[in-house]
Copies of this chain bind each other. A is one copy, B any other.
């Protein structure tokens, strides 16, 4: 029995094998609702990582994109950039998904890959890259962090 449906939290150091497969943590699979099935959309993250959305969640993003008129140049470019690298995948009987070569290259993924829950989506990181991104953020964003932390009572 799970309480938090569709909520991904925690980090897991898993291996990306020779065939480009990574395991979806059991804790993540267990919070997926029936209609999410085993379908995911994987795409480029806005940071140097791979984003993995449950298909149903991605669906709602697509619905938003549909509303953007192609008359606007910014809209066209926004739609293009978000959809361009997205592909639909399913996990196998062992619970793994295959990451496409161009995404592996983009996120510079090696054998040691870090799976990070991001509430409504999952990120796959090269641990070293996440480390540097983390440190950069600590220096630059400290003030805004405090602001956010004030709004959200931890």
Contacts and interface: CB of A to CB of B under 8 A. Distances in A.
Interface string A95-113: 0000010100000000000
A9 B137 CA distance: 31
Interface of A: 2-4, 7-11, 27, 37, 39, 41, 46-47, 55, 59, 61-62, 64-66, 68, 70-71, 73-88, 100, 102, 116-121, 123, 133-134, 137, 141, 144-145, 148-149, 151-154
State the copy count for this chain.
2
A154 B144 CA distance: 20
Contacts of A27: 87-88
Main secondary structure of the interface of A (DSSP, over half): mixed
5 contacts: A4-B88, A27-B87, A47-B76, A66-B120, A68-B148
A41 B87 contact: no
Given A74-B145, A154-B46, A9 B117 contact: no
A119 B75 CA distance: 12
Greatest chain B CB density within 10 A among A37, A61, A71, A148 is at A148
Contact of A85 (B8, B10, B47, B86): B10
Contacts of A100: 10
